[in-house]
Structure 1
Amino acid sequence: MVVLTLLASLVLLLSCVDAFPSRAKGPASILPRPSIPHFENPLEGLPVVSRNGTQLPDYTHVYYFNQLIDHNNPSLGTFKQRYYHTYEFYELGIGNLSDDGVRRILGGPIILSTPGEVDASGYTTYLTNATLNGRIAQTLNGSTVVLEHRFFGSSNPYGDLSVASFRVHTVQQAVADLVYFARNAQLPMPGGDALAPGKAPWILVGGSYAGALTSYTMASNPGVFTAGYASSAVVQAIVNFWGYFEPIRQNMPANCSADVEAVITHVDSVIASNDTTAISALKSTFGLPLGHNDDFAAALLQNLFPWQSLQPDSGPNQAFYQFCDALEVQNGVSAPASGWGLDYALQAWGTYWKSAFYYQICGDDDVETCLGTYDITNPFWTYTYTGNAARSWQWLICTQLGFQQDGAPTGQPSIASRMVTPEWGLRQCTYRFPGAFGSNAAIASPNSTGINAVYEGWNTTVENIVFASGTRDPWKESTVAADGCTNAGSDSQPHLLSDGFHCSDLLIREGAASASVKSVQDTAVEYMAEWISQWKQTA
């Protein structure tokens, strides 16, 4: 098998949200979110015992915080923001000398994180030492908190996800939520009403979009958090984000990359020819008779997105490698590094779609319902029920972040079709959020420039924050490890790089599968310990 020389361990999938879009719930062409890896939750009812022998509530026990609906207008009141918490590893200790010369009894740090653009109930493992959050807590005698992001899961300021409700769904409001929580939460633990910043050190941890929030929060609110850890942090908002596919192209099996690039070059050539007969025949090869050529080209991206779910301990049965094997293994023989060539790869890719892949992502839906994006009457676009995470994430994409995953510029090798442009995705924003961009707007115009200006993007000057990136992360080009980033970091802002994938360093078990991921984890804990040791009480 083509992948055996790369990954020989048994398969154990860590599925990022939307690595495969949900089946039969609208167009499967929704682009993947940069979520932190999902990790199996601790069993509900599992006893949690602190070091002093006290039995604590389950990790899955839900708490609620009265969060401001609008930080710019507190008179609007509050909503119930869900969070999870444990003080399993918390211990009191002797603090540094305060300004009045007294050494006070203090506890370890509070490690706050949000899983970002997902329902937080599936991420309570981030309270435990199976993740870096918990390892930091265990090392520094701290307490962990997972706070649900507004407009995801059950943390909704309003009863729907309408354009009117989304007025308070912004990056700025999410940043303010983290700060307001740290300053005002009364945590359900001994002394939990006296742990605000200044009285206790706080560490902010996040991965992916939540990693960007870590950087953004510390940049705009200095002094609240003593230290931060940002894994695969997508700090640079980019509208034309063709760089998403570059780490995939550069790190996938060479034969698979060569053949995918050859097929995509052929697809673009056929579509550009405007030969309707040839275009129809091409679509038939894949069993995808879509009415719009860009929808057809975008459908082929579905075979690349499972890369986002890979981790160092993933095995050869992961969906991305199943796809590559379908192209590169012929009669039990793997293709050379140059691949089999266009003729074989085109037919093999088409057969893979028709024999298995279409049903896997579309089920019994017809092709237009599953993969088409031009039917504005499809009620999918305007489902405003709470808990619709894809809609909440798309609002941030359409209004502020951009992140349209598309084909590379002409002259640059590309495994994604150039028929997929930012306009293809931004047009869909006007379907989802009618009227939000002007009554006659054909496409949305995300204010990525504004986000980068306010929070510094690649050029962040935040201190006491660790940025961790992976060379195989498809989101790498929006992190400080991007090829276009000139911010080299410093001892007060170390940039750590592993051979990991997306947020690999947040999962302790991935350190066991990769020495470079483990090195990042170990180094990060050392930085956290150093910075926390320098903290002094100010309140």
Structure 2
Amino acid sequence: MACPGPPGERLPPLDTTYYFDQLIDHDDPSLGTFKQRYWHTWEFYEPGGPIVLTTPGETNADGYESFLTNVTVNGMIAQQQGGATIVLEHRYYGYSNPYSDLSTESLRYHTIQQAIDDLDYFAYNVVLPMPNGAHVTPDEAPWVLIGGSYAGALTSFTKVNKPDAFYAAWSSSGVVESIVDLWGYFDVVRTHMPQNCSADVQAVIAHIDEVFTSGNAADIEQIQDMFGMSLAHLDDFAAALREPLFWWQDLQPSPYLSETAFFDFCDALEVEGDEIGPAAGWGLDHALNAWSSYWTGTYLPSVCPDGDDESCFGTYDASSSRYTDTSVNNAERSWYWIVCNEMGFFQDGAPNDTETIVSRLIQPVYDERQCTYMFPEAFSAPQSPRASATNEAYDGWFVQDDRLFFANGQRDPWRDATVSADGTNFTSTAMQPIALGDGFHVSDLYAVNGEADPTIASVQAQGLAAMKDWLADWEAPQKRSVIEGR
């Protein structure tokens, strides 16, 4: 372990919160600043070592102290290279908010570009609470940017938009290509989940879609009764059935991180006494009864204990607190602002020519309608997010930048928005490697996953080797002024 600074100087606790004066609007500094939270350690730091920065992205960053340590890739890089680590809270998440609410008016400075500018401005202007912390800007030390999922996309976007600030970067499961109709999210789940479960889920969904589009009121009511729901809108019913499938995203190879809820759902469909369903599944009748029994006996009581399914799953009440709650630290609202405006990523049913585990009643307009409820001042009618403009601005799948490492997982439901998407064939190069393991979503960020899965260990090893090679070549650039650094 690197010596932590001068003799006798103790490291502050990892959960020590620091504050940086961040510009509200990088296009108009006269608007002033807000307090942006960050966490930091120099446990492994040696003079000349890199500064390793991450943002957790669309969440409150308090509690992400492990990303300062070597249980994550961030700390592994810092330990290997003698660096310091930082976790920076993304604007409009947690308590890094320019204003006292998340109203539409307040959110006007919540954009991808402003977030990129935050990272750049922070790197060039922060005085870190560590030995020599006033002299580790990108002019004087190499900075490494790391992010996963949306933050992985932000990592790629920042390398494109601010090529001088971060010498090297690691994008884990980076959703670099903004896609409005991301039906491929569930297609990855369909093809990688237990195939008997997949077949039975497909059979049930196909049947429900047929009934719901038939106009036969008695048959529709029978389905609702089986699942113990009486929702006014059939697309809300269909959307509710997606919920157990979202649990796939929580899976990890490590027994310490794995969630079992997804497999509990599949077991409810496929395990009958001592028998397990065949490869092709049990078939519609068994699957429909098994799913509805699981739903009424296990799922509904846990998520909707008061029995008001309209409050639990209904999306047509514009007065719902889900749409009207503008208090800070409401991550769902902050994230919806980005997806409604700039990225999309609506996880829907597959096209008619593709098998689907999600109802085709769920299409982008289902989410776009909810954008009008959440932000009526911005959207008077449902409209498509500006995904194409985002891809054009930051290069999406077609990014070409030096010292940018992409790490992806074959079983990641977000993979179709990454550079390892099905149907793409992007070349891995020495300066922009693309490493694909058998992992799930952001699996490579956790050291323990590499211990559990050799393919993830390989991804991590490739990334660490690239960082070592790249950082060995770093030379201090010509110093930038504070104004230029903005």
Scaled to the shorter chain, the TM-score interval is over 0.9
**Match in the other structure for 2:395:** 456
**Match in the other structure for 1:243:** 184
**Match in the other structure for 2:419:** 480
Report the Cα offset of residue 362 of structure 1: 2.2
Q: Mark the runs of 5 or more structure 1 residues left unpaired by the alignment.
A: 1-47, 93-106
Tell me, yes or no, if structure 1 residue 202 matches structure 2 residue 156.
no
**Match in the other structure for 1:28:** none
Match of 1:141 among 57, 62, 82: 82
**Cα RMSD for the two superposed structures:** 1.4
1: CA distance, partners of 2:187 / 2:160: 29
Report the Cα offset of residue 487 of structure 1: 2.3
Q: Say if 2:250 and 2:259, in contact at 8 Å, map to a contact too.
A: no
Report the Cα offset of residue 317 of structure 1: 6.6
Match of 1:497 among 436, 443, 449: 436
Equivalent residues in 2 for 1:143-292, closer than 5 Å: 143-292=84-233
2: CA distance, partners of 1:529 / 1:299: 47
Report the Cα offset of residue 285 of structure 1: 1.1
Q: Tell me how many residue pairs correspond in the alignment.
A: 475
Task: Say if 1:314 and 1:295 are closer, same or farther in 2 by CA, change over 3 A.
Answer: farther
Q: Mark the runs of 5 or more structure 2 residues left unpaired by the alignment.
A: 480-486
1: CA distance, partners of 2:154 / 2:24: 18
- Superimposed CA distance per residue, residues 492-531 of structure 1 (whole angstroms, 9 cap, x where no aligned partner): 1000000000000000000011000011111101100111
Match of 2:16 among 55, 61, 67: 61
Report the Cα offset of residue 361 of structure 1: 1.9
* Greater mean alpha carbon deviation, residues 333-342 or residues 376-385: 376-385
Task: Say if 1:515 and 1:265 are closer, same or farther in 2 by CA, change over 3 A.
Answer: same
Q: Say if 2:251 and 2:259, in contact at 8 Å, map to a contact too.
A: no
Task: Say if 1:271 and 1:188 are closer, same or farther in 2 by CA, change over 3 A.
Answer: same
**Match in the other structure for 1:430:** 372
Match of 1:507 among 435, 439, 446: 446
Report the Cα offset of residue 379 of structure 1: 3.0
- Superimposed CA distance per residue, residues 183-225 of structure 1 (whole angstroms, 9 cap, x where no aligned partner): 1110000111111112100000000000000000000111211
Match of 2:386 among 431, 443, 447: 447
1: CA distance, partners of 2:34 / 2:11: 26
Task: Say if 1:317 and 1:401 are closer, same or farther in 2 by CA, change over 3 A.
Answer: closer
2: CA distance, partners of 1:220 / 1:485: 23
Three-state SS of the structure 1 residue aligned to 2:263 is helix
2: CA distance, partners of 1:319 / 1:170: 34
1: CA distance, partners of 2:8 / 2:244: 50
1: CA distance, partners of 2:330 / 2:383: 20
- Superimposed CA distance per residue, residues 355-403 of structure 1 (whole angstroms, 9 cap, x where no aligned partner): 0101222232500000000112223311000011110011101111101
Q: Say if 2:51 and 2:83, in contact at 8 Å, map to a contact too.
A: yes
Relative to the length of structure 2, the TM-score reads 0.96
Quick one: which amino acid aligns to residue 71 of structure 2? Answer: A
Quick one: which amino acid aligns to residue 251 of structure 2? Answer: L
Runs ≥4 in structure 1, deviation > 6 angstroms? none
Aligned-residue sequence identity (percent) comes to 51
Three-state SS of the structure 1 residue aligned to 2:342 is helix
2: CA distance, partners of 1:365 / 1:433: 29
Three-state SS of the structure 1 residue aligned to 2:407 is strand
Three-state SS of the structure 2 residue aligned to 1:79 is strand
Tell me, yes or no, if structure 1 residue 70 matches structure 2 residue 25.
yes
**Match in the other structure for 1:39:** none
Relative to the length of structure 1, the TM-score reads 0.86
Report the Cα offset of residue 339 of structure 1: 0.6
2: CA distance, partners of 1:53 / 1:138: 21
